[in-house]
């Protein structure tokens, strides 16, 4: 009895293998055509793509940090210049994007460096389609942000 059940397994395996190899559902292949609007079978985009980019600049001698972050962007083009010196932190950002953008900086008390002794925190959040040019400049005993706050 056990021998008869065992001899049926190879036959079952062969039948399943033949069914799998010759099944019309598995044999069909979908070919996607990418092209222009003039071809009705062509798809302009067959996937959803999002971009993400972030940069954190920490100037430890000055106890400052600057942040640039873009998320969920369907279009993203950025150019950035960074400078961190013992008495200067500078971040220049040119960005053209569709999505979410965050730009900001944090200045702590240079004597303590404690997060509880925060001197200045600026955060900008952009949601939508933007083209921005921003310069964040923090010099020792002086803060300036070109684009929103007047620099003297």
Q: What is the residue extent of each domain of the chain? A: 2-43, 51-146
- CB contact at 8 A, 65 and 106: yes
**Spatial distance between the Cα atoms of 141 and 149, rounded to a whole number of angstroms:** 17
- State the pLDDT at residue 96: 93
pLDDT at 58 over 50: yes
- CB contact at 8 A, 108 and 135: no
* Both structure tokens of 49: 């793509």
The 10s digit of each residue's pLDDT in 4-36 is 445 555 555 555 455 444 445 544 555 555 555
DSSP string, 80-111: EEEEEETTEEEEEEEEEEEEEEEEEEEEE-TT
**Would you place residue 129 in the very low, low, confident or very high pLDDT band (cuts 50, 70, 90)?**
very high
């Amino acid at each position: 009895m056990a021998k008869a059940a065992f001899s049926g397994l190879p036959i079952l395996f062969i039948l399943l293998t033949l069914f799998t190899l010759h099944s019309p559902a598995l044999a069909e292949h979908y070919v996607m055509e990418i092209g222009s609007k003039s071809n009705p079978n062509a798809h302009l985009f067959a996937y959803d793509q999002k971009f993400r980019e972030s940069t954190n600049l920490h100037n430890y001698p000055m106890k400052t940090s600057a942040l640039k972050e873009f998320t969920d962007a369907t279009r993203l083009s950025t150019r950035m210049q960074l400078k961190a010196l013992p008495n200067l932190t500078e971040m220049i950002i040119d960005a053209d994007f569709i999505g979410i953008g965050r730009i900001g900086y944090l200045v702590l008390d240079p004597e303590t460096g404690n997060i509880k002794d925060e001197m200045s925190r600026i955060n900008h959040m952009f949601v939508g389609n933007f083209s921005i040019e921003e310069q964040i400049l923090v010099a020792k005993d002086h803060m300036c942000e070109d684009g929103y706050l007047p620099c003297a």
